[in-house]
Structure 1
Amino acid sequence: MPEVTIAIPFYNAEKYLELAIISVLCQTFTDFTLMLIDDGSTDSSLEIAQRHLVDKRVKVISDGKNMNLGNRLNQIPGLTETKYLARMDADDIMHPQRLEKQLRILNDNPNIDVLGANAYSIDDDNNVVGQRMDFSDDELIAVTTFIHPSIIAKTEWFANNLYDVSALRIEDSELWLRTGNKYIFMATSEPLLFYREIGNQYYKKYFKGFPGVLYMLRKNKFSIKHWIFSIKYFLASIIYMFFNFLGVEYILLQRRNKLQFKKKNYSFYI
C-alpha cells in the first residue's frame, strides 16, 4: 500500500492540468497514489487525465456529474486507502521534493495534525513572480490558515473534518476557523508549491463568496473570530473593487507576496 494519496479534483482545467499531473509524477518520493477526480468537465480535461492511466499509480474518478469543489473534497477521503492525503489543485505545480519533505516533517513530528507549506506565486505563463512567506528555509511555523493546495494530513483527519459545502467559495477558511482550536496547524517556510494567481477583476471572486460568508456568520453569530474574518473579507472586496476601478488591482495581488521577484520561469527554482 502506498503511503500517501495526492488528490486533484478538476473541472474544465485543460490549460493547466497536464503540468499539474506531471509535477506529481516527477516527485522524488515515488510511493504514492495520484487520484484525479473529474467534476463533470466539458472540455478535454478528462481525456488529459485518462492519458496518464498508463502509470499504475494514477487513478481517474469520473461519474459525469458536476457536484462543485466542496462535495468533491468531501468525497475524496472515502476513496483514499493510504495513511496520508495531500491536497493539490489542477492549476498549480508541485515542487519535485514536496512529498518527500512534507512526509519527513510529519513522520518526525507526529503531533502535527495538518501541515502546509510556503509557496511561490506564478502567473499564467509559469513565471515565478513572488513568494508568499518571507522566512528562512526549514523553519516550522505555527499557523491558523493555509495555502489550501499545500496541505497534507492523515486521511483520518480529513474524514473527521469535512468541508461545509454551504460555505461556498470559502470552504477552506470555514474549515480552519472551525477546527483550528482543536488541532495543531503548522507550515514549513520552505516553498514547496508553485501557486497560480492570475486574472483581473479579482474583486468579483470576493463577491461570489458573499453568500458563503453570510451563511457562516449565521451559523456562528456569537463567534468573534468568525466576525473578524467576515469583516476583513468584506473590506478586502471593497478595496479590490476600488483598486480595479483605478486600474491598479494588480498591486494588491503583488502585495500578497512577502517577497516579490523579477519574472523568471518556474523551472529555475527546481
Structure 2
Amino acid sequence: MNNTQPLVTVGITTYNNESTIETCIESILDQTFQDFEVLIINDGSNDDTSDILNTYATHPKINIINDSENLGSPTRHNELAELANGKYLAKVDADDYMAKTRLEVQLGYFAKSKLLKIISSWAYSINEAGKVIGTKNYKSNISPFNLLFKNPIIHSTVMAETKWFLENKYDPTLLRCQDVDLWVRSIKSENYLLIEDYLVYYRESIDKAKLRKSREYTFKVINKNKSRLNFLEYSFLNFLYFTKYMMS
C-alpha cells in the first residue's frame, strides 16, 4: 500500500462476491484518473472471495481488511469513511464495476463547484453474466417521496467528500436499503448533482429472496422516515410496497 495521501479513496465492502470482485477491482485499477487508493473490507466472506483478494495483497494502491465476522454492509460502509485517506470517497458495490472515466468525470464536476458535496450518475444495467441489458437513467427532484418512490441515486455511482460520509452515517440496523435511508435523511438539492452519463455497470439481481428482503426493508425505511412525508405520500408508498412485497 502506497503511504502518500491520494485524492480519492474507492471503497468496497464485500461478502461472498467470488464471481464478481475481480472484475470490480480491475475496473478501478484501469481508471484514466490514477491518484486513488482502493480500500476493501471483506465482511466475513466464506466463499473464495478472500483468496481472490489475497492476490492483490501487495498491490501499492490496494488496502485489504479481512474480517472473519459478518457485521453487515452499513457497518462496513461507516468503517470505510473512518479509514479512507482520500479527500473524496467513491463507492462501488462488489458486484458492479466502473466505466474507465468514472473518477475523472466526477472529479471534474467537483472542481467546477465548491457547493457540491455529493455526486451520482446514470448506470448501465447488466445481467448475472455481465451483459448490458438496459440503462438506469432515472431523473427526479431530490425529495423524500421521490427518493423512496423511484430512487435516482445508484449507490455504486456515488462520490462524496469523505467528510460528508463521516457526518452522515449509514444506519447499521438496516441490512438492506441503507443507502436510500441515508439519501432521504441527508441529501439536499443544493449540494447534490446527478451526472447524466453512464459511469458504472450495475448488476441486476434475479434472486427472488433478495428482492423480497429488499422490499421488506423498504417498508422499514418508509416508516422510519414517516415524519418526512405527508399523509398521502406515506399512504401511497405503503400501499405500493405492500403490493410488491405480497407479489414477490
Q: Normalising by structure 2, what TM-score?
A: 0.85
Task: Report what 1:146 is aligned to.
Answer: 153
- Across the aligned residues of Structure 1 and Structure 2, the Cα RMSD in angstroms comes to 2.6
Structure 1 contact 221–227 (Cα < 8 Å) conserved: no
Question: 2-side partners of 1:200 and 1:229: how far apart?
Answer: 28
Q: How does 1:223-262 map to 2 (within 5 A)?
A: 223-224=228-229, 228=233, 231-232=236-237, 235-236=240-241, 238-239=243-244, 242=247
Task: Report what 1:90 is aligned to.
Answer: 94
Structure 2 contact 128–205 (Cα < 8 Å) conserved: yes
Question: 1-side partners of 2:101 and 2:137: how far apart?
Answer: 18
Question: 1-side partners of 2:232 and 2:70: how far apart?
Answer: 32
Q: How does 1:37-186 map to 2 (within 5 A)?
A: 37-133=41-137, 143=142, 145-181=152-188, 184-186=191-193
1:210 has 2:240 as partner: no
- CA-to-aligned-CA distance 1:126-177 (integer Å, 9 cap, x gap): 1111111179xxxxx9645410111001100000000112233121111111
Question: 2-side partners of 1:157 and 1:67: how far apart?
Answer: 22
Q: CA deviation at 1:223?
A: 2.7
Q: CA deviation at 1:189?
A: 0.5
Using a 3 Å threshold, how does the CA distance of structure 1 residues 58 and 128 change in structure 2: closer, same or farther?
A: same
Q: CA deviation at 1:225?
A: 6.0
Question: 2-side partners of 1:227 and 1:21: how far apart?
Answer: 44
Structure 1 contact 122–129 (Cα < 8 Å) conserved: yes
1:193 has 2:200 as partner: yes
Deviates more, 1:187-196 or 1:220-229: 220-229
- Structure 1 residue ranges without an equivalent (≥5): 136-140, 245-270
Q: CA deviation at 1:60?
A: 0.2
Using a 3 Å threshold, how does the CA distance of structure 1 residues 230 and 38 change in structure 2: closer, same or farther?
A: farther
Q: How does 1:14-53 map to 2 (within 5 A)?
A: 14-53=18-57
Q: How does 1:5-20 map to 2 (within 5 A)?
A: 5-20=9-24
Q: After TM superposition, where is structure 1 displaced by more than 4 Å over at least 4 residues in a row?
A: 141-145
User: 2:57 is paired with a residue of what secondary structure?
Assistant: helix
User: 1:76 is paired with a residue of what secondary structure?
Assistant: helix
Question: 2-side partners of 1:233 and 1:101: how far apart?
Answer: 37
Question: 2-side partners of 1:42 and 1:124: how far apart?
Answer: 20
Structure 1 contact 120–128 (Cα < 8 Å) conserved: yes
Question: 2-side partners of 1:75 and 1:227: how far apart?
Answer: 37
Question: 2-side partners of 1:115 and 1:128: how far apart?
Answer: 23
- Structure 2 residue ranges without an equivalent (≥5): 144-151
- Counterpart code for 1:180: I
Task: Report what 1:258 is aligned to.
Answer: none
User: 1:52 is paired with a residue of what secondary structure?
Assistant: coil
- Counterpart code for 2:157: S
Question: 2-side partners of 1:229 and 1:172: how far apart?
Answer: 19
Question: 2-side partners of 1:157 and 1:111: how far apart?
Answer: 12
Question: 1-side partners of 2:102 and 2:235: how far apart?
Answer: 32
Q: CA deviation at 1:64?
A: 1.5
